[in-house]
Amino acid sequence: MSTSSGARFLDCLSWRNLAAVLFMIAALNADSAISGTPVKSANPACPTAFWNFGDSLTDTGGTLDVFAYSLDPERSPYGESFFKRPAKRFCNGRVVPDYFSLAFNYPLLQPYLQAGAFDYNYGANFAAGGTTASNDTSRNPIFLINQVSEFVRLKQSATSQKNQFACHPFKQFLPRDDSYGEGLYTFEIGGNDVLNAILLRNLTAEQIITQVIPEAMINILATIKILTSNGAKKFLFFNAPNAGCSTIAITVLASIPGVQTDEMGCIVFINELDQAYNKALNDTIASARLLYPGRTISIFNYYDANLEILTNPSLYGFNPALTKRACCGAPGLGTLNYNPLVTCGNPGSNKCANSEEYVNWDGVHFTDAFYRQISLWALSGKFTDCPVNYTSLCNLDFRNFAKSSTYNSVYPQSCRVTFT
């Protein structure tokens, strides 16, 4: 066990990187031998900002701030758990980037294109519903690569403005100088590549494995290249959760003849494709670690974390009888309160009494309670390949994770606005 975790540790480092670590250890020893003083207390490994890229699971306004679509998250009961109103999130409350900000006591991460109320001091969120890692035009013309271009534009524009105006009127809202190099770049992407290919593009499993996933990986590697050339050093990738266990997949596909389900009732071929994506992601990140030494590139195993919650729900406060059921939705198809014709927020839909017991919020996306557990794990390096334990490293405090906390209690009215 200790040998294999030692070997994993070495995998996380490239050889150049390892030499740097050995040199650093030697330097630290030499230093303490001379001065006898402890190592610096403010840990430089703690992110000063977050830059998030992804789809609807981490969207905090990327879709609704830009497109004049009419979408369910604009309607009650979306947002009711923490925000007490619809908050442009595909959730009843907080999503993972919100929990990350709360853990660090930062303002909530702002969506990049929020009109009239921007604040990039602690980074920005580029995530938008429907985004794919591959350049898949079947649903949205939004790909990971576009979000990365948005980041590059923001950095260029903010930097040139800071250089041009000694007294920039919005200086306090521009990214801090150390936010690019000392920020944590988080990614939650991949699920839509697989789902679009099946539900919208009618591709076979073989086409997904030989075309879609490799295309996604080319873009992920390009993403890391672009961001490292812009100073990024810390990356945390969330892999694809098992969408075969989602309420929508089970409701729509389980009754089709020939579609195989597992002992939990999940759709086998979707989970297998998610794992094929995740395996490819492992390989891609292994290459990236060699290509870009000196960076920390972690993968949070969202798939395994989701599986753990579905396997042992009561350990984490979820009701074992309700793990596949949508908290908010409508009957009419299947038995899980999901009806694609009457979705959450629309006339005829209902909402469960206690969303804390539920994994699934609206048939497609997860609950505030689910994302809380995922965030606790991701921040402490659990289920993580090349883990960083921010919980201990940065002395995180989870007071604001409480289910009773609200947007107004955490961010009381002040001149230093925390928009959402």
Ligand X SMILES: *[C@@H]1O[C@H](CO)[C@@H](O)[C@H](O)[C@H]1NC(C)=O
Residues of the shown chain interacting with ligand X in the complex, contacts defined by CB under 6 A: 135, 145, 202, 204, 215, 218-219, 275, 278-279, 282, 301, 380-382, 385, 389, 391-392
- Cβ nearer to ligand X, comparing 139 with 168: 139
Burial 47-70 (b: 16+ CB within 10 A, else e): bbbbbbbbbbbbbbbbbbbeeeee
Distances (CA, A) of 404 to 92, 145, 285, 338, 369: 13, 37, 38, 27, 11
CA angle at 232 for the pair 228 and 238, rounded to the nearest 5°: 100
Give the three-class secondary structure for 283: helix
Cβ-Cβ contacts under 8 Å for 156 (sequence gap 6 or more):
none
Residue 21 structure tokens = 């670590």
What dihedral do alpha carbons 8, 14, 17, 19 form, nearest 10°? 90
- Cβ nearer to ligand X, comparing 183 with 381: 381
Backbone angles phi, psi at 263, to 5 degrees: -65, -20
Short-list 263, 206, 262, 208, CA closest to 240:
208
- Cβ nearer to ligand X, comparing 361 with 383: 383
Q: Are 64 and 71 in contact (CB under 8 A)?
A: yes
Q: How far is the CB of 366 from ligand X (least distance, A)?
A: 20
Order of strands across the sheet with 296-300?
123-125, 50-54, 184-188, 234-238, 296-300, 384-385
- Cβ nearer to ligand X, comparing 161 with 207: 207
Q: How far is the CB of 346 from ligand X (least distance, A)?
A: 27
Closest residue to bound ligand X by CB: 392
Q: How far is the CB of 116 from ligand X (least distance, A)?
A: 29
Q: How far is the CB of 183 from ligand X (least distance, A)?
A: 21
Q: How far is the CB of 131 from ligand X (least distance, A)?
A: 13
- Cβ nearer to ligand X, comparing 174 with 280: 280
Q: Which residue has the tokens 């271009």?
A: 149
Distance CA 199, CA 408 (A): 40
- Cβ nearer to ligand X, comparing 70 with 395: 395
- Measured in residues, the chain has a length of 420
- Cβ nearer to ligand X, comparing 196 with 278: 278
Distance CA 166, CA 275 (A): 51
Distance CA 152, CA 165 (A): 20
- Cβ nearer to ligand X, comparing 356 with 385: 385
DSSP 196: H
Q: Which residue has the tokens 């794992």?
A: 275
Q: How far is the CB of 310 from ligand X (least distance, A)?
A: 17
Q: How far is the CB of 292 from ligand X (least distance, A)?
A: 18
Q: How far is the CB of 228 from ligand X (least distance, A)?
A: 16
Q: Which residue has the tokens 């660090």?
A: 104
Q: How far is the CB of 143 from ligand X (least distance, A)?
A: 6
Distance CA 204, CA 115 (A): 41
CB count, 10 Å around CB of 192? 28
- Cβ nearer to ligand X, comparing 107 with 381: 381
Distance CA 169, CA 324 (A): 50
Q: How far is the CB of 65 from ligand X (least distance, A)?
A: 22
